[in-house]
Chains A and B, each alone.
Chain A
Amino acid sequence: MDSFIPTVLIVDDSAPLRLLYSTYLKDENVNVYSVSSGRDAIDFISSHRPDVIFLDLYLPDISGFEVLNYVKKQNLDARVIMLTGSGSVDDAVEAMRLGAFDFIVKPIDSARLRVTLRNTTQHLKLKQMVSEFQTSQDVFLGFIGSSPAMKSVYSTIERAAPSSATVFITGESGTGKEVCAEAIHKLSKQKKGSFVPINCAAIPRDLMESELFGHVKGAFTGAVSDKIGAVQRADGGTLFLDEICELDPQLQSKLLRFIQTGKFYRVGSSKLETVSTRIVCATNKDPKLEVRAHHFREDLYYRLYVIPIKLPPLRDRDDDVERIATRFLKNFSQEENKGFTRFSISARQLLMAYDWPGNVRELQNVIHQIVVLNDGDEVTDEMFPESIRKDVLKGGDGSSGAQPQRAVISVGNPYAGKTLAEIERDAIEKTIDSCEGNISKAAKMLGVNQSTIHRKLRSWRDEAQGKSAGVAESGTPEKNTACSGGSPRELPDNKIRITDRHSRRHDNGMVEYD
């Protein structure tokens, strides 16, 4: 806390007084600057963000009230102390009403000026301490954020961690599922053991079993020695199965057996081995839909889905965006030896307005990029990647349907036998899938607005329910919903329509509502 050296600005039109006041403060642990006019004061304030401002009320260009007003309007933390003549106590009172921190009546002696400064900086230090304390409260085992949505996640984690029940984490990509899994581990009984993450999507199918359970020498070509698998490394600790829905169906049965018994065979071995490990798994898909689509074994699902934790997308976390961004900014600045400490107002607006489809991971990458590519102490909106600025400028509504479709559909003639409406629907649904259910990302990819996609999804849903008169006249609305017959489509985003209606999707592509 002692490292905090406040910046002090003295605003007075008289040179002898400026010098005298500065001299009075020369032995204080502060950096003192002075200017002679209101406009210079505003310039200095906007560029240097002083902590304390001694402000003369009568200035040759604009009045001290205007400077005070500027400080208040910009929502700056600076403490303003008005300097007033003995005849203008009314003005001082008015200044206090406008938000001045204190006032001093001229002529000002050294003791008075220093005592006032000390009171003010003490107040500032206290405030900084409080805010630092609060930010430390913002942090929960690797998570930054204190939005209501995240606080409820924290309390679920706290309640779930001590039990040995399996935790199933869902959430869009980049929302912190792995952070969550580690937090559970750190709070659990088995925290002394290892936290072993394994990504079911990243490991080739035929290596996955050996990754999970290990193998013995000669089990397959390339198995030149014995190897222990993830479950064994996680013995006494936590096994984190990321992207669980991508696990091969055969392995799903083996995993189920392991979870039920704690026993397993290494590949190529007939010796049954036993470990004790806590299982935490995660997916960015909707596991229920994966079950319905027969991608994910229902019995395994029920075995794993004991304590569900849903991580909210970043855009639903209020001003956590700013909190996380500020923390990242400070960390990356330190790492990259840069001087960034804050975001400008316009940059803050940008942070809040953007949708962050890639969530915290995207935010992290963007801030890192900004810090690497720029210099200064304040991040401005111009430093953000073009794509983000454009996206925010475009806003939520104004239609941009004229933009070219960017969804790529290839392989032979995939359009054969389909109406234009069916092709459109197919393209939209495939794009949503490829964006892992993230509508705003899909909309961007397709060059249309999010609202357009939502409207279409709604109309298809109504159609499937036979609500839409316009479609009903074709006689068999359900058939219209089947796009390619055969392979089932996953419905990506539970926000859209399905889960809250207890629907079931059959292999023929038809949707059924309970």
Chain B
Amino acid sequence: MTELLDTKVLTQMAGDVGLEVLPQLISVFVDDSTAKLSQFRKLFDNGDWSGLAMEAHTLKSVCATYGAMRCRDEAIAFEKLCKAAEPDRAAIGEKLDSLLGTLRESITAVGGFTLK
């Protein structure tokens, strides 16, 4: 399994933007991702598969950018599932539980990141 957080990505980001800006970037990631947790649930309850695919697509980029690699991988698989010709509600539901679990862990990991 891919590691939850690739700290190299965040270290690089810190170098690029500067240490004083990094906490702000992280806090926006935390807030935005936390809001996504309920957003994903709502779309699933409405059976909005294309909306879910869209959100997964965005999540994929955001996670990749912030080093949340495991969550990125799950988002990729989840997007595919939602884009299937005949989406399978049960399979999607199962993957969603896992995806949101990983996202929650990622939020904690990114939020707790400090430069060594």
In the assembled complex, A15 has its CB within 8 A of some CB on chain B: yes
Closest residue on chain A to residue B64 by CB atoms: A107
Decide if A16 touches B64 in the complex (CB within 8 Å).
no
Decide if A19 touches B61 in the complex (CB within 8 Å).
no
Task: Please give, as numbers and ranges, the residues of chain B lying within 8 Å of A20 by CB-CB distance.
Answer: 13, 17, 25, 65
Decide if A23 touches B57 in the complex (CB within 8 Å).
no
Task: Please give, as numbers and ranges, the residues of chain B lying within 8 Å of A58 by CB-CB distance.
Answer: 54, 57-58
Decide if A107 touches B17 in the complex (CB within 8 Å).
no
Given A16-B25, A20-B25, A110-B17, A85 and B66 touching (CB < 8 A)? no
How far does the Cβ of A32 sit from chain B's closest Cβ, in whole Å?
Answer: 14
Decide if A14 touches B61 in the complex (CB within 8 Å).
yes
Closest residue on chain B to residue A60 by CB atoms: B54
In the assembled complex, A109 has its CB within 8 A of some CB on chain B: yes
Decide if B62 touches A23 in the complex (CB within 8 Å).
no
In the assembled complex, A108 has its CB within 8 A of some CB on chain B: yes
In the assembled complex, B60 has its CB within 8 A of some CB on chain A: yes
How far does the Cβ of A22 sit from chain B's closest Cβ, in whole Å?
Answer: 10
Closest residue on chain B to residue A110 by CB atoms: B16
Q: Tell me the bound Cα distance from A98 to B57 in angstroms.
A: 23
How far does the Cβ of A370 sit from chain B's closest Cβ, in whole Å?
Answer: 45
Q: Mark B20-39, 1 if CB is under 8 A from A, else 0.
A: 01001100110111000000
* Contacts of A240-254 to chain B: CB distance below 8 A: none
Closest residue on chain A to residue B18 by CB atoms: A23
Task: Please give, as numbers and ranges, the residues of chain B lying within 8 Å of A19 by CB-CB distance.
Answer: 24-25, 28
* Contacts of A1-20 to chain B: CB distance below 8 A: 13-17, 19-20
In the assembled complex, B46 has its CB within 8 A of some CB on chain A: no
In the assembled complex, A24 has its CB within 8 A of some CB on chain B: yes
How far does the Cβ of A354 sit from chain B's closest Cβ, in whole Å?
Answer: 48
Task: Please give, as numbers and ranges, the residues of chain A lying within 8 Å of B31 by CB-CB distance.
Answer: 15
Task: Please give, as numbers and ranges, the residues of chain B lying within 8 Å of A87 by CB-CB distance.
Answer: 76
Interface pairs (27), CB distance under 8 Å: A14-B32, A14-B62, A15-B28, A15-B31, A16-B25, A16-B32, A16-B33, A16-B66, A17-B61, A17-B65, A19-B24, A19-B28, A20-B25, A20-B65, A23-B17, A23-B21, A23-B25, A24-B17, A58-B57, A60-B54, A85-B57, A85-B60, A85-B61, A106-B61, A106-B65, A107-B61, A110-B17
Known: A15-B28, A108-B65. 11 other contacts (CB 8 A): A16-B29, A16-B33, A16-B62, A16-B65, A19-B25, A20-B13, A20-B17, A23-B21, A24-B17, A58-B54, A87-B76
